[in-house]
Structure 1
Amino acid sequence: MSTIGAEEEFLLVDPTTLRPVPRAAEVLARVEELPPGAKAHPELMGTQVEFATGVCDDLAGLGAQLAAGRRALADAAKASGLRLLASGTPPLADPAPGFAPGGRYGRVEELFRAQVTDYQSNGCHVHVGVPDRDTAVHVVNHLRRWLPTLLALGANSPFWAGRDTGYASWRIVEQSKFPGSGVTPHLADAAAHDAAVARLVDLGVLVDESQTFWFARPSPRYPTVEVRVADTAATPGEAVLQTALTRALVAVTPLGPAPELDEQVLAAAVWSAARYGLTGDGVDPLAARRVPAPALLEALFDHVADALGDDRAAVRSLLDRVLAEGNGAVRQQRAGSPEAATITCIEAGIG
């Protein structure tokens, strides 16, 4: 099986107000031992931190790294009098939290202005090793069908700044405001991908070639396919589940061309996944019809089951738990208020 890795973005919150605070630099300076190859980084806002695993060969190793990374960041946050929040958006927030220092983030602020003033959005990015960039683009073409279902599974941002948005993933709604956001366009090869990105940079709507907002892409830094459609996972186990299904989808990619999909149907599938998560109807992009979201998830599992190999039973168990207990969005909404949702995410996030 291919190598795997994951990046997770988190918020730092005050334990009394439960609101994000811009003290990422202080917390990151307190981070102690991390797993081999793993790193902790600042993110766009000073309220955010990111943990990136090292390269992993199996799900057990990935799960161990994710749990260790969360503990290390949570311990560092606690040492600073803060808490680590695993949510796609802040259930409670004050306006204009402040940008993380750094030249590139300064250029992002200058380009997008008020669009990013409150953009405290956190995702779970899955990396799956591939032989080359042409293969990566071919894989992404086939992933297009399944990206809305991965979003529905990983939805974990129903609250935003003190209100219930009515969406399972408000993060995706916020991200949709950026140019070029959404399902990756069908592209012929790596050269076509790079030309499409370069065109957006040349048109002045992206800071650089690393800043596409597509849900999946050839990583600009690693020899991987990077899938970043899911919100930050509520628990380490759900991040493992997202990674396992993504790697299996990569493994079953056929050699032939990807099926043609209507772009408006794909947009409807993304919207439905963001709106309802796993609790309502989704849209099957291939059949162009409404289907209950859990049925789409079962179809995805059936599609990749053989590729899961020895991990099949463990992945099935993780999936059954989410279907029975709800994903992060369901559990936040079940908590009943932004305050209770924040506490739920803090307590469950470390695992």
Structure 2
Amino acid sequence: MEPEPSPGTTMGVEEEFLLVDPVTGRTAPAAGAVLQRAGEHRWAGTGGGFHPELPTTQVEAATGVCRTLAGLRAQLRHGRARLAGAARAEGLALLSSGTPPMDGPSPPFTPGDRFARMAAAYGTLLDGYQASGCHVHIGVPGGGDLAVAVVGHLRPWLPALLAITVNSPFARGRDTGHAAHRMLEITRFPGGGVPPWCASAADHDRRVAALVDAGVLVDATMTFWLARPSPHLPTVEVRAADAAATADEAVLQAALTRGLVRTALTSLAAGREADPADPQLCAAALWTAARHGMDGPALDPRTGRTLPAWDLFGLLLELIAPALEDTGDLTEVRDLAAAVRRAGTGADRQRRAARAGLPAAVGELARHTADGTLTGTPEKQGDDQDEWGACERVPQPDDTRTTEEP
């Protein structure tokens, strides 16, 4: 029998995808048929699986427990390939985008008691809601006070995790002016955004219970916070990222998250508790990341200082460098971040493709979703090099986790 892994060692990722008509680009309510065709996940024995979501236009692929970036990438690509193939067999395409680019009717909800209670609780707030994210789980066995303390350390960095993955500039057939419109949709819900600072697991549970008692959450497993102790697994779950345009970008998000968790664990072991960053600054930083992604200013909630987004990302990498060196993933993470620097974020690439019309952007998204590989484009090279040079003085993230239902 294998020994239980130490905290911050294992990881897993849940990816939410949209099903679209490849001709019109509109979402299609065919989750049931696609999931039936997809069958069982190859890593079902370690937690991998394919699942429905609230709207019938959305499906999820969850990896099993992973310990290496290579293993995680293999599972991510497997999940995407199986779902993309099942979608094609139904005459559809699989799309990894934080929001559907094209306009269309509000989709029906997946049958089930919990989904029905959600629909009853939120009413028209759920009309057309099809937000898709990339959820990362990092193993923190025992949960409780330790998991809550880790989340406290993550709070000020959640906007930076969003900024590098922004991938939802379009919604209802138009450019929203935001790089991550998905975040605006999520933060409409009560208990959304950056979580509050909690002194203990008991404090966390009291806050959740108060929201449930007020009727704004269906149950205690359903907070909308972007980081939380998982209610089902021995993990910390981070849900800041838009649906990753490619599997490589999902790997990068998982590596950054694991690096942050391992860094938090090191700090806590040394007796350094998280500084309770101002909640208004955290909310402002999140909005700024959703608005600009990596192509504008960023707000550091720890200091209240505005700086270029890539400079803030450099500070993040500098912070987690020892954790990444410890796991041997620094070079790969640096390469992945540099590829985003060259190619642009998912939002950048959607907007470039949309110059030929939104259907072209949908087609490009579908190709990258199935392919899973991030490659640079000449259009993003050149005058970015000086800013990226500042980021290169610091390092980059690593890998390994455990999976759960959102």
1:99-118 superposed matches below 5 A: 99-118=109-128
The corresponding residue for 2:343 is 325
State how far apart, in whole Å, the 1-side matches of 2:130 and 2:254 are: 23
Deviations 1:188-231, CA, capped at 9 Å, x for gaps = 11111111111100000011111101000000110000000101
Q: Partner letter of residue 30 of structure 2? A: R
Q: Is contact 2:186-2:192 (8 Å) kept?
A: yes
- Per the TM alignment, residue 94 of structure 1 is displaced from its structure 2 partner at its CA by 1.0
The corresponding residue for 1:302 is 318
The corresponding residue for 1:17 is 24
**Pair 1:346-2:353 in alignment:** no
The corresponding residue for 1:83 is 93
- Per the TM alignment, residue 340 of structure 1 is displaced from its structure 2 partner at its CA by 2.0
Q: Is contact 1:63-1:236 (8 Å) kept?
A: yes
Query: Could you tell me which of 225, 228, 235 is aligned with 1:217?
Result: 228
Q: Which has the higher contact order (CA 8 A, sep 6+)?
A: 2
The corresponding residue for 2:207 is 196
Deviations 1:283-337, CA, capped at 9 Å, x for gaps = 0111101111111111111111221131110110000000111111111111124
SS of the residue 1:16 aligns to: coil
State how far apart, in whole Å, the 2-side matches of 1:93 and 1:243 are: 31
TM-score, normalising length: structure 1? 0.98
List 4+ stretches of structure 1 deviating above 3 A. Answer: none
The corresponding residue for 1:171 is 182
TM-score, normalising length: structure 2? 0.85
State how far apart, in whole Å, the 2-side matches of 1:62 and 1:47 are: 25
State how far apart, in whole Å, the 1-side matches of 2:158 and 2:255 are: 14
The corresponding residue for 1:312 is 330
**Pair 1:335-2:345 in alignment:** no
Deviations 1:34-77, CA, capped at 9 Å, x for gaps = 22131000001000000000011111101100000000000000
1:42-61 superposed matches below 5 A: 42-61=52-71
Q: Is contact 2:131-2:182 (8 Å) kept?
A: yes
SS of the residue 1:145 aligns to: helix
Deviations 1:113-148, CA, capped at 9 Å, x for gaps = 110011000000000001322111000000011000
Q: Is contact 1:35-1:54 (8 Å) kept?
A: no
Q: Partner letter of residue 221 of structure 1? A: H
Structure 2 unaligned residues grouped into runs of 5+: 1-7, 373-406
The corresponding residue for 1:257 is 273
Q: Is contact 2:40-2:49 (8 Å) kept?
A: no
Aligned length: 351
SS of the residue 1:252 aligns to: helix
Q: Is contact 1:33-1:72 (8 Å) kept?
A: no
Q: Partner letter of residue 96 of structure 1? A: S
SS of the residue 1:96 aligns to: coil
- Per the TM alignment, residue 33 of structure 1 is displaced from its structure 2 partner at its CA by 4.9
**Pair 1:277-2:293 in alignment:** yes
The corresponding residue for 2:382 is none
Q: Is contact 2:40-2:50 (8 Å) kept?
A: no
Structure 1 unaligned residues grouped into runs of 5+: none
Query: Could you tell me which of 284, 293, 300 is aligned with 2:309?
Result: 293
CA RMSD of aligned residues (A): 1.0
Q: Is contact 2:193-2:224 (8 Å) kept?
A: yes
